[in-house]
Amino acid sequence: MAKLTINDVDVAGKKVLMRVDFNVPLNDALEITDDRRIAMALPSIKSVIERGGRLILASHLGRPKGQPNPKFSLAPAAAKLAEMLDQPVSFANDTVGPDAAEKVAALADGQIVLLENLRFDAREKSGDEAFSAQLAEFADIYCNNAFGTCHREHASMYGAPVAMGGKPKTVGSLVEKEIKYLSSVIATPERPFVAILGGAKVSDKIKVIENLIGICDQILIGGAMAYTFSLAQGGKVGKSLVEPDKVELAKSLIAKANDKLILPIDTHCGDDFNKDCNKQVVPAGEIPDEYEGLDIGPETAKQFADIIKSAKTVVWNGPMGVFEMPPFDEGTQTVAQAIADSEAISIIGGGDSAAAIAQLGFEDSVTHVSTGGGASLAMLEGKAFTAVEALDEKESVEG
């Protein structure tokens, strides 16, 4: 999947439509509380404007349900980007309407316009062809730099590049890096290859587990989904979060995985969902009726850390427990520390795992932190990404 990158294409004097992920959190005063997603898009943005391209940025923010909503305007993102680049960023108060058309037409070399939230128009999520064509008409070159939505066939992700026809369709540095790690490394991993899966529900990770059973050497299971597996083995789970309707599925996954699936051997549990509750560590499958499992136990954490230590490739998706609430963050901390200390190629699959790695200050100690939770899960499932397949291969354009 060696895709044509934006750096491979001459952008001087050309209009570049770049799909970015500026889905940043805003407070009640509509101030950005975490600008990392904007910061991570900067290398490809700078690549275009420093080479004299005319840049049209498009993104979604939040869930405005296909209607304009000032709470989800991208205006704060335009202001933040201007501050980061120390140059003006024009902002269009519509997406494909008259203001966008006027501001795109007015672009000079090295200038930027950010379009208003794509999801203010219901046609974005439906992948509408007319809307896709209007976006495509703005530009001479397309660039996908929004990995977090690469698994979606939205207008800006799939429809627009298809509508671009023979014009160059490229990836930005973020998507290029994600493909390199999540696709290429997993296709030919250095072994032992260990996956660590946590989070609340087995149902969220079924396809991932099924896909990884055929690829990984070991799969370590933590988080609340471990209790559904425990139930499948006849264990007692107390008040733990479980999916009773997934017990048969958990049984079949255990059978299919043979000894590849490593389940917790002890559980850190509490009699209430708060840090001041009564706590105890019990063997896995022996959680008292009035208690709920809130983290893997210390023996499990040590076992997982030892397995990680000998791995050559590690993929982690999902925390081991309630990592936002001490002391039930200890299992996640131990696993994160083991990954940070290991010499393995380590890929952190977005979402809560990425948040935990950042919170613990280990971002610089791992190989790659994915920018897309849902997208990284979809790639771990082995799904095809039509939004990426619609882009040009390096060879097909370079000869």
Handedness of CA 202, 213, 176, 135 (dihedral sign): negative
Find the Cα–Cα–Cα–Cα dihedral 149, 153, 157, 158, rounded to 10°.
150
Of the candidates 207, 374, 382, 394, the residue annotated as catalytic is: 374
Of the candidates 199, 238, 351, 372, the residue annotated as catalytic is: 351
CA-wise closest residue to 206 among 255, 145, 170, 252: 252
d(CA 354, CA 373): 9
Of the candidates 201, 236, 302, 394, the residue annotated as catalytic is: 201
d(CA 110, CA 118): 23
Catalytic residue at 37?
Answer: yes
Q: Which two tokens stand for residue 203?
A: 């149902």
Catalytic residue at 293?
Answer: no
Catalytic residue at 19?
Answer: no
Catalytic residue at 46?
Answer: no
Write out the E strands in the chain. Answer: 15-20, 54-58, 90-91, 112-114, 141-145, 169-171, 193-197, 218-221, 236-237, 261-262, 266-270, 279-283, 286-287, 292-296, 313-317, 345-348, 368-369
Cβ 109 vs Cβ 53: under 8 Å: yes
Please tell me what DSSP assigns to residue 364: G
Of the candidates 37, 51, 125, 169, the residue annotated as catalytic is: 37
Query: 241 φ, ψ to 5°?
Result: -70, 115
Residues serving a catalytic function are: 37, 201, 351, 374
